Amino acid sequence: MLQLHEKRDKSMNQRTNQQWLSDLRGPQQDQALTDLRAVLGRGLYFALVNRVPANKLEALVDDFAQDALLKILDNLETFRGESRFTTWAQKIAVRVAFTELRRQRWKDISLQDLLPQDAQGDFTPAILADPDQDPEGQVVKNAMIAITQRLIMEELTDRQRQAMLAIIVGGMPMEEVARRMNTNRNALYKLMHDARQRLKSSLAAEGLTPEEVLASFGEG
Amino acid sequence: MNLNSEVLKKIVQKVADTRPDEIGCGDCFEQLDRFAELVLSGKPVRDAMPLVQDHLKRCKDCREEFEVLLSLLMSMN
């Protein structure tokens, strides 16, 4: 049996990229699909074995392999041949699997739930929390806090602020924040990048660099 | 809404790291298979595909997927 698997694996690995593409599109499709599903299954098993409960592993591997297979077939024309076909296919399978695992892990958590209670509310006077800081440094720090706070509230859009707090403070995966904001991960990254650039230029307009603000917070 | 100084510090750290030419998750994903094979080849990658490497440092989702892809490819080769 083992020898049969090895022989089979060898034949799978021997397909060139062009053979994979032509087999998946031609009369050899059934065999190519079977082989590709086996490749994806082995990769997914390795990827998930320490991440999901053992009693769900096999079913999840099968489901994700099937979903990935469909996605791969739908996107064959986007394969640019810059890697082995199976590497490209595994990349898609990992994306499929982790998108779903994140969705399951975060399904009961809303964006509102993410902000820790102590992230909001009145400021604790920092001088109480940091008795070693000199009074002048404390004045500077308080001023920087006030400026940063104002810029975040005034210069960012509601969506930018919501996304930033969910990701940076709440630690929610981009994919899940994007789902809740009815967008996609790539667009969300762009939104966040625009927000960071906006804050950087707003600080510059105040005559400040982020590094100066961080230094006043007690971090160079 | 008031944000405490720890939250503000986290945000400003991200702002400090911002560069104008960052690529998004889509561009990173497109190149991820190529970058994974480059890493697997054992050649020095310090200066290779710098924008992909930069994105992987910034984006936890993409980094997690890349690390999984890399380790499963290593296990299968």
CA–CA gap between residue A121 and residue A101 (Å, rounded): 33
Q: B9-32, pLDDT tens digit by residue?
A: 999 999 999 999 999 999 999 999
Question: Does A197 have pLDDT greater than 90?
Answer: yes
- What spatial distance separates the first Cα and last Cα of chain A, rounded to whole Å? 61
Residue with tokens 């971090």: A219
Q: Contact A46/B72, CB-based, under 8 Å?
A: yes
DSSP 3-state helix, strand, coil percentages of chain A (rounded to 5)?
A: 75, 0, 25
pLDDT of residue A211: 95
Q: In chain B, what's the furthest Cα-to-Cα distance?
A: 52
Reduce the DSSP state of residue A215 to 3 states and report it. helix
**pTM (predicted TM-score):** 0.87
CB A208 within 8 A of CB A197: no
Q: B21-66, pLDDT tens digit by residue?
A: 999 999 999 999 999 999 999 988 888 999 999 999 999 999 999 9
Chain A positions in Cβ-Cβ contact with residue B65 (cut-off 8 Å): 91, 94-95, 98
Which amino acid, A137? G
Q: How many CB atoms lie within 10 A of CB A81?
A: 12
B positions 39-58 inside 8 Å of A (CB): none
pLDDT of residue A114: 79
Q: Contact A186/B60, CB-based, under 8 Å?
A: no
CA–CA gap between residue A156 and residue A160 (Å, rounded): 6
Reduce the DSSP state of residue B51 to 3 states and report it. helix
Q: What is the DSSP letter of A183?
A: S
When mean pLDDT is compared across A32-36, A99-103, A114-118, A210-214, the lowest value belongs to A114-118
- How far does A42 lie from chain B, in Å, by closest CA? 8
Region A199-207 average pLDDT: 97
Q: A116-153, pLDDT tens digit by residue?
A: 565 554 444 444 455 566 777 788 888 998 999 999 99
| Interface membership of B26 toward A (CB under 8 Å) | yes
Highest mean pLDDT among A9-23, A104-118, A169-183: A169-183
Q: How many CB atoms lie within 10 A of CB A168?
A: 16
Question: Does B73 have pLDDT greater than 60?
Answer: yes
CA–CA gap between residue B33 and residue B52 (Å, rounded): 11
Q: A65-112, pLDDT tens digit by residue?
A: 999 999 999 999 999 999 999 999 999 999 999 999 999 999 999 988
Question: Does A18 have pLDDT greater than 70?
Answer: yes
Residues belonging to chain A: 220
CA–CA gap between residue A147 and residue B3 (Å, rounded): 12
A positions 44-103 inside 8 Å of B (CB): 46-47, 82-84, 87-88, 90-91, 94-95, 98, 102
Q: How many helices (H) and strands (E) does chain A have?
A: 11, 0
Q: How many helices (H) and strands (E) does chain B have?
A: 4, 0
